[in-house]
Structure 1
Amino acid sequence: MHFHRPGNASTTGHLQNHSGARLPDDLATMSILDLPVDILLLIFPHLDATSFLHLSSTCKALHNADFLNDAAFWSTLVRTTFRVPNQPTAQHDGKRWQKLYKRLLTQSRIYTWGDNDKACLGHSYDAPAAMARLGPPRARRVNALRRRHISWPAEMNSTENLGVISDVQCGGWSTTMLTAKGTLYTVGVLDGLQFDQRRAPFMQTPARQPTALKYPPGFVQLHERNDSSTAIQQFSTGRAHVLGLADSGRIWSWQNIELAALHVMFLNHDTKEDGTAAGRGTVHKVVAGWNKSAALIEGIGIVLWDPLQRGHDDTAIEDAVLVLESAVVPNTGYRRSKGKKSTHTADTNPDIAETVDQVGNFILLEHVLLFSTDIGKVFAAQIFWDDHEQRVGEPVEITISDSETEIFATDVQGSFRSFAIFTRDGNVLTSNQDRLMDLLRDNQAPDNLFTRIPALQHRGVISVAFGDYHFHALHSSGHITSYGNEPQACGALGLGGHGDPEGRLRGIRYQGMGGDGRLVPHAYTEGRRVWFEEEKRDWIKFLTAGGVDAEEASQRMRMALGTPDVRCQGEVSEWIEQQGRDWESKFGLKGEEDDELGAYFALSVTAAGWHSGALVLVNEELAAKVQAACEVRESSSTTAEGEEDAQDPPAEDANSSLLSYAVSTALDYGRWFLGLAPYNVPAPTPHNAPHNNTAGAASNRVGEQIHVPRNYGDSPREGYKYVWAKHSFPRLVLSNGEEMPGEVGFDEWRFARPEFDLDAGV
């Protein structure tokens, strides 16, 4: 039936059938508001945005927040319109989904960072032609490493013509994106270890720009037209392969960007490919793991198999592979029918509905599969897979309790060897495969099974993405926090640095010959946010150069960044974090936009190996306003708050200025290591110094070998200065009462200094 709004100004409508005939009197006099609220909520998800807003505007009763921000409607609309994956921990936040719908149309961007091995970040930094122009061999090696390691989020190249991007996932050597039209694009290589004997270097050739994944001949390529058999509704990226679930229910598998997909079929299981959303054989989700593929199939359960391989010598007409060897995870076949309290289950255990219930989500680790169920439980099952057997062990329940109270688990997320369990009360419990093995082998959970990182508890965490040694948390407010380590200062944490002072000021300790980075324990109390704003990077570059007076700040910088004691580095990095966390309100722009999502709002985060990525909604207008608020004309003498700056330094002679420059340059090189004197690198000749003699030429060669930045974060462009150009390196009173040395006043905390839990790190 249709709803018809009466022609008069009445706030109620009467029901008519589709032909216009009036219904019986008892129904004809019924208004929309006489319907139970539950019926209205069932109707909403079937409307488009325009129809929904028209219906809600028919009367005041429907035009209230409970209806306008209905979570079921807006989450369904966003996920069906843009193919955005469901986020269980945020599925009841209707206001958030409504804002996302408005911004996804024009503002989705992909940012990546970390190790750019095999061009997996989609950046062009390691192009051979560019490497040839970087100078002498030593300089080429240094610059090549710096360009391969990207420590700040950078927007992926050539994505502007892909349309709305709805999801992004990292693989071992790749990054794959899903568009709102159901097309998959990938950069890097899917399998960095697979040999390709057609041409040197006999490995898969990296795709440096987003490349659409292909289908076999005869199937509709999505750039031609939309087709349910090839339009992907959900996908998963493993270490070396990609699985895609099409709108029709068909499973596709890729292991090489250059080769067409293979249609996955099972010898022992039938799957539905008619596009219906329910019934035995319907595939509800696919997961590509470290070394296995998996799918949740209604009436069967979670099915595992080895990733498929297509060779270059395969016939062109081959479009499907029959999986001969697969395994079903026990007790995962139950599925509750809508509108019924109990249903038949394919499992032999009649109590499965009460003991396990329906699978909600599942993940594949290296040797373990975990799944959560609708009654708040999480189970783990060990995978046994070799030449003699291919099976999955009996699932073991992971007991999650707080004292004597059992905790309701809402989701499980993870990859490779790490995972996280989400609870209904807002906690996020992290763990790893090694700890879990003790439970699976001995059927007794170890005392240290879970870690409770303070920065993840009751902080609106929506998802957690794990790489090999680092991980990120996405918060409902749209920001990303980083944890763990980054090998060889590869930038996987996204906090800046690459071994340089910027990373140290964010709380990274670089150690060993390879410069492995590890977050200070202080970072696990409040978290360290990933910055997307360019001006923030200039600000921290300015601080690492010593601020307005590098000579005056040298003792504080040595104390904060150049000593084995982590206390000062941890607390200064937390002070930096608080300033960056409140960036927009600091310049009077917070809440200026009616959607309150900020200039950069992360919709999803992903990680694998040594790199990471994020789908970010960018409000370019607001971002420009924030940037403009950070700038003043060079003649201005006011600070960000509009007050006369009290930190104007006295005039210095040429020698003093040169000394400050030398110290600043030494700091910017990042040539100092923990526990060593940080000021032992000779400064190169300034850009404006004469070099028409032998000494000058020698100094210039030093300058060529080590990059000297043109500015130290005090100026965005000629004629302008940043509002912090006359600020000093922070001076704090530490938590133990110690005062940092210096001649400037003490800086106040933007928020209260947190109570640091130094034993909370991973």
Structure 2
Amino acid sequence: MLGLTDLPIELHIDVFLPLLPLRDLLSLGCTNKHFAVLCKDETLWKRKLDRDYNFNGANTARTTGWKFIYLRLTNPRVYVWGDTENGRLGLSKFPKSAVHGVPFPTELHFTGTRIVNLAAGGMSFHALDAEGQVHVWGTLNGQSYALNRDGYSEPAKSAPTPLRLGLPNPTRSISCGRLHSASLDSKNFIWNFLCWGRPFKLSSHLLNSESLPIQIECGWAFSSALTRSGDILVWWPLSGGLGTKVEQKMNEMDSEGDKKALADEGVIPCHTWEVEADPVVLPTLPPLPDLPGGAKGLETRVIQIAAYDNHLIALTNVGHVLMYDSLDGEDTALTGRWNYLPKFSDIQEVCSHPTFAEGKASPPRKMQITHVSAHFRNFIAYSTGDSSVVLMGNMDTTPESQPKVIPELQNCGVISVVLGDYHNGALTANGKLLTWGGYSNGALGLGDPGRLEIGSPGGFATSNDRLRAVQRHVGEPPAVEVPTEVRFDHKRKKPKERFCISAAASGWHSGALVIDLEPNENEDDSDLEESEDEQPEPSNVSRGWRGRGILGIPDPNDALFRGGSVFRIGFPGRGRGRGF
């Protein structure tokens, strides 16, 4: 007779162990060496995270540390920082700072829900909780105005604090554009949001059982989907034929008089509808070369896409990075073409880059690009592991263009890169968030410039600059060139180590999902030193657009854990003028 230990390992990992409650699973791991190994399996804990918490790390390249995250995701924290306009931070009170904005991570509290992912829109945030519910705050379209009596049928209606969307099905993933967003739900339906109160489902014969969407990605003013069959579909909800259909339906719903989507008890009722429209199918990929060290004989296919301003990046299963242009509308989409980018794909080309060739950073020993991300005018291609690389391009990148390479981001275990209009963030496997780029009203999150040491990252260059900013509210700190770690314990009475598991950025704001590395012995030890160090939030009436291998992770089995259980992208401002 077969015993439990005689069953195939795959049966345990795939079927039996994910069903066990946490306490039983941890106890089983203590019974013998066989189950001790099985109960540490990374695939097991990743599946439990997806099953129990709706968290799959899809926005990162993480491959390990799933048990560590699971044991701490019972009480995740949401932090936001940056510009305060349009209610985009969702805070009822703002901490004081010497200059405009919130220049350091500030906790946004949620009651009775567990947030597991963040997505940043042009002037808003979208958050996904463990039940698949979507929470929003800020303004989906801050270029117009809305009255207090208006509901969320108006794109410009602001949500000054988080509200939940009353959607028909649990949501799997969210992506945000500049003035719109899209989601993929548990039934593989694609929902489009031009306002939060009237989302519409995209219906097309191109979305069938053999061509289900596996990824959605919003660019500046378009949306796109990668299907199981490998097709890339693109549509424009704000313009063209689809935009006309949407406008007609909005006018019809306005005339009905009962679909204003007024928020009630923290919920925005969603008056859903469906539109039949065929997206544009982008051309198939051109012939691509074999990559040095790559697997031979594999059928080349697209596994990931990233969208930005009228452009789209595609990544293949063997590491080819390609760019598609001319996505400014459905009339011009098929006039574009795929451009293969060898200097972002081929290890020999990458190693010849001056940064590596001149010894400013160690060249990769092996390389396969595994992830891409994009925002506004820039895109990122990166690999993972202890010999990881991070390569940056933009709208003007050609097959002959060298990527931008920042030495401090190479070989440091980067698992996610997020981009705002002028600021950027890189998340590492050991839970550190590094930011660089423009100050953007505090979107770097490096601290209050009025208190930071002169010349330090995020601080002012001179004492006169700081004095002028503090007294006259003129000027801001210079851009940060070297990626610098963000702290998540600003203004605490005592320092506290925290671990960032995901991040989001857009426009002039940022957010992060963070877990504690140590128990909360004293919950009364507030994150803020003094209550008078807060100031009321400004009016949130929509004011419109103003013109512009895991590294260093503790072992989840050590003494710290014993004793029981313990989120494509929005682009406001468009870079023309000062911002928004």
Same fold (TM over 0.5): yes
Q: Distance in 2 between matches of 1:395 and 1:355?
A: 20
Give the drift of 1:606. Answer: 0.6
Match of 2:201 among 263, 267, 291: 263
Match of 1:287 among 194, 199, 217: 217
Give the drift of 1:208. Answer: 0.8
Question: One-letter code of the match for 1:174?
Answer: S
Pairs within 5 Å for 1:426-441: 426-436=387-397, 439=398
What SS does the corresponding residue of 1:281 show, helix, strand or coil?
coil
Q: 1:504 to 1:366 in 2, by over 3 A?
A: same
Q: 1:83 to 1:502 in 2, by over 3 A?
A: farther
Match of 1:616 in 2: 514
| 1:363 and 2:318 are equivalent in the alignment | no
Q: Distance in 1 between matches of 2:518 and 2:367?
A: 42
Question: One-letter code of the match for 1:213?
Answer: L
Q: 1:492 to 1:47 in 2, by over 3 A?
A: same
Match of 2:128 in 1: 178
Pairs within 5 Å for 1:457-536: 457-487=410-440, 490-498=441-449, 501=452, 504-509=455-460, 515-519=475-479, 521=481, 524=482, 527-535=483-491
Give the drift of 1:434. Answer: 3.2
Q: 1:39 to 1:455 in 2, by over 3 A?
A: same
Match of 2:66 in 1: 97
Length, aligned pairs only: 468
The answer (yes or no) to whether the contact 1:378–1:398 under 8 Å persists in 2 is yes
The answer (yes or no) to whether the contact 1:165–1:180 under 8 Å persists in 2 is yes
The answer (yes or no) to whether the contact 1:242–1:254 under 8 Å persists in 2 is yes
Question: One-letter code of the match for 2:437?
Answer: G
Question: One-letter code of the match for 2:130?
Answer: A
Match of 2:369 among 406, 409, 414: 409
The answer (yes or no) to whether the contact 1:288–1:294 under 8 Å persists in 2 is yes
Question: One-letter code of the match for 2:431?
Answer: G
Match of 2:498 among 576, 600, 603: 600
What SS does the corresponding residue of 1:62 show, helix, strand or coil?
helix
Q: Distance in 2 between matches of 1:389 and 1:87?
A: 31
Q: 1:85 to 1:148 in 2, by over 3 A?
A: farther
Match of 2:252 in 1: 314
Larger Cα Rg: Structure 1 or Structure 2? 1
Give the drift of 1:624. Answer: 5.1
Match of 1:445 among 370, 387, 400: 400
Give the drift of 1:55. Answer: 5.4
TM-score, length basis structure 2? 0.71
Q: 1:80 to 1:378 in 2, by over 3 A?
A: farther
What SS does the corresponding residue of 1:270 show, helix, strand or coil?
coil
Match of 1:120 in 2: 88
Give the drift of 1:181. Answer: 0.8
Q: Distance in 1 between matches of 2:230 and 2:382?
A: 26
Pairs within 5 Å for 1:567-646: 599-618=497-516, 621-622=519-520
Match of 2:104 among 148, 152, 160: 152
Q: Distance in 2 between matches of 1:285 and 1:434?
A: 22
Q: 1:517 to 1:430 in 2, by over 3 A?
A: farther
Question: One-letter code of the match for 2:338?
Answer: P
The answer (yes or no) to whether the contact 2:438–2:479 under 8 Å persists in 1 is yes
Q: 1:295 to 1:33 in 2, by over 3 A?
A: same
Q: Distance in 1 between matches of 2:521 and 2:348?
A: 47
Q: Distance in 2 between matches of 1:454 and 1:507?
A: 19
The answer (yes or no) to whether the contact 1:363–1:412 under 8 Å persists in 2 is yes
Q: 1:424 to 1:61 in 2, by over 3 A?
A: same
Q: 1:253 to 1:623 in 2, by over 3 A?
A: farther
What SS does the corresponding residue of 1:154 show, helix, strand or coil?
strand
| 1:237 and 2:169 are equivalent in the alignment | no
Q: Distance in 2 between matches of 1:45 and 1:192?
A: 47
Q: Distance in 2 between matches of 1:168 and 1:374?
A: 26
The answer (yes or no) to whether the contact 1:463–1:475 under 8 Å persists in 2 is yes
Q: 1:203 to 1:283 in 2, by over 3 A?
A: closer
The answer (yes or no) to whether the contact 2:99–2:449 under 8 Å persists in 1 is no
Q: Distance in 2 between matches of 1:419 and 1:85?
A: 23
1:51-83 Cα offsets, whole Å, 9 max, x none, are 65565455322323xx23211111111122212
Give the drift of 1:34. Answer: 4.7
Question: One-letter code of the match for 1:113?
Answer: W
What SS does the corresponding residue of 1:494 show, helix, strand or coil?
coil
The answer (yes or no) to whether the contact 1:83–1:166 under 8 Å persists in 2 is yes
1:578-630 Cα offsets, whole Å, 9 max, x none, are xxxxx77xxxxxxxxxxxxxx411111111001100111135735759989xx
The answer (yes or no) to whether the contact 1:304–1:327 under 8 Å persists in 2 is yes
Give the drift of 1:282. Answer: 1.7
Q: Distance in 2 between matches of 1:98 and 1:328?
A: 40
Match of 1:187 among 137, 141, 147: 137
Q: 1:619 to 1:186 in 2, by over 3 A?
A: same
Q: 1:293 to 1:55 in 2, by over 3 A?
A: same
Give the drift of 1:534. Answer: 3.4
Match of 2:227 in 1: 297
1:676-726 Cα offsets, whole Å, 9 max, x none, are xxxxxxxxxxxxxxxxxxxxxxxxxxxxxxxx989xxxxxxxxxxxxxxxx
Question: One-letter code of the match for 1:238?
Answer: G
Q: 1:118 to 1:535 in 2, by over 3 A?
A: closer
Structure 2 gap segments, 5+ residues each = 239-245, 260-270, 287-295, 352-365, 535-580
Q: Distance in 2 between matches of 1:148 and 1:186?
A: 23
What SS does the corresponding residue of 1:409 show, helix, strand or coil?
coil
Match of 1:739 in 2: none
| 1:419 and 2:356 are equivalent in the alignment | no
Match of 1:753 in 2: none
Match of 2:43 in 1: 72
Question: One-letter code of the match for 1:297?
Answer: T
Q: 1:70 to 1:416 in 2, by over 3 A?
A: same
The answer (yes or no) to whether the contact 2:200–2:275 under 8 Å persists in 1 is no
Give me the identity figure in percent: 25
The answer (yes or no) to whether the contact 1:303–1:326 under 8 Å persists in 2 is yes
Coordinate RMSD, CA, aligned? 3.7
Match of 1:63 among 32, 36, 54: 36
Question: One-letter code of the match for 2:515?
Answer: L
Match of 2:407 in 1: 454
Give the drift of 1:240. Answer: 1.4
Pairs within 5 Å for 1:316-331: 319-324=272-277, 326-331=279-284
The answer (yes or no) to whether the contact 1:88–1:410 under 8 Å persists in 2 is no
1:717-743 Cα offsets, whole Å, 9 max, x none, are xxxxxxxxxxxxxxxxxxxxxxxxxxx
Q: Distance in 1 between matches of 2:78 and 2:181?
A: 19
Give the drift of 1:414. Answer: 2.2
Question: One-letter code of the match for 1:329?
Answer: L
Q: Distance in 2 between matches of 1:606 and 1:503?
A: 28
Q: Distance in 1 between matches of 2:506 and 2:16?
A: 38
Match of 2:188 in 1: 249
Give the drift of 1:364. Answer: 0.4
Match of 1:372 among 303, 307, 315: 315
Question: One-letter code of the match for 1:463?
Answer: S
What SS does the corresponding residue of 1:531 show, helix, strand or coil?
coil
Q: Distance in 2 between matches of 1:148 and 1:292?
A: 32
Give the drift of 1:233. Answer: 1.2
The answer (yes or no) to whether the contact 1:89–1:410 under 8 Å persists in 2 is no
